[in-house]
Amino acid sequence: MRAYSQVIPVLTIARLLGLPEDRKDDLARWSQAMVAMYHAGRSRAIEVAAAEASTAFSGFLRAYVDERRAHPADDLITGLIEVEEAGDRLSTDELIATCILLLNAGNLAAVHAIGNGVKTLLTHGGPRDWLSPQKRDGTIEELLRFDPPLHMFTRRAYERIEVMGHVFEPGDEVGVLLAAASRDPGPWEDPDLFNPARPHKPHLAFSLGLHFCVGAPLARMEMQIALPILFDRVPGLRLVEPAHYADTYHFHGLDALMVTR
């Protein structure tokens, strides 16, 4: 995980936003500390660490936004500043919050999508020709359906509503089980089988509707590029220990994947 899966997403977002790549360790650390708020077993220490990370991250970005105002560049932060200055779209605080959201939402989900993807391929006899240019995209979609890094989001009913015979009262919380829906034996034949050749059908790894993942095209691209490169460069990659899933709540991802070549 440390050697590959954790490196790519943070570098990708740093480059996209135009943040210096040599701060990638800080960016990853801040994002992990803030996202830990969503994990099970949240403690006072985790909350304090998240607050400290958010202060440090905001301070860093504020200085960076000032720097980009003085010296515009070909990056997303400059683009967001220009939108802000052309109208009344983004205040500096909104700009900072948007950058933090992009990093926090885009980093660990992609880390675990790559980790789970490598694990699934290795536990199914290696990638064979599944990552060839013709089959790659279908394989990535099947990896995301089969072992997505995010299993559940929640929604709250704002008003009384009846859905399929069930009445939700205002304030009721609904657990939207995205990963379970992608294994629904109704629409999916042999849902527990990893089958990259299955007919294309939309899965729910990126959710649906208003909150559909804004980073889905980027996440897909990261997997489409990163997985073939890994197996091209290390064709003999194999597992030396069973994969170990981390004991966290929000992400379904690995804390280690021990491999050899």
By CB under 6 A, name the binding residues for ligand HEM.
13, 101-102, 105-106, 109-110, 113, 148-150, 153, 178, 205-207, 211, 213-215, 218-219
Q: By Cβ distance, which residue is nearest to ligand HEM?
A: 215
Nearest one of 108, 129, 115 to 27, comparing CA atoms: 108
Three-state DSSP string of 159-177? CCEEECCEEECCCCEEEEE
Task: Give least dist CB 175 to ligand HEM, A.
Answer: 11
Quick check: 34 and 53 in contact, CB under 8 A?
Answer: yes
DSSP conformation class of 200? P
Cα–Cα distance for residue pair 118/222, rounded to 1 Å: 13
Nearer to ligand HEM, 195 or 207 (CB): 207
Task: Give least dist CB 45 to ligand HEM, A.
Answer: 27
Task: Give least dist CB 44 to ligand HEM, A.
Answer: 27
Question: What DSSP assignment string belongs to 56-121?
Answer: HHHHHHHHHHHHHHHS--SSHHHHHHHHHHHSSS--HHHHHHHHHHHHHHHHHHHHHHHHHHHHHH
Task: Give least dist CB 218 to ligand HEM, A.
Answer: 5
Cα–Cα distance for residue pair 223/9, rounded to 1 Å: 10
Nearer to ligand HEM, 19 or 150 (CB): 150
Nearer to ligand HEM, 36 or 150 (CB): 150
Task: Give least dist CB 188 to ligand HEM, A.
Answer: 18
Nearer to ligand HEM, 1 or 109 (CB): 109
Quick check: 236 and 217 in contact, CB under 8 A?
Answer: no
Nearer to ligand HEM, 115 or 235 (CB): 115
Task: Give least dist CB 226 to ligand HEM, A.
Answer: 11
Nearer to ligand HEM, 50 or 222 (CB): 222
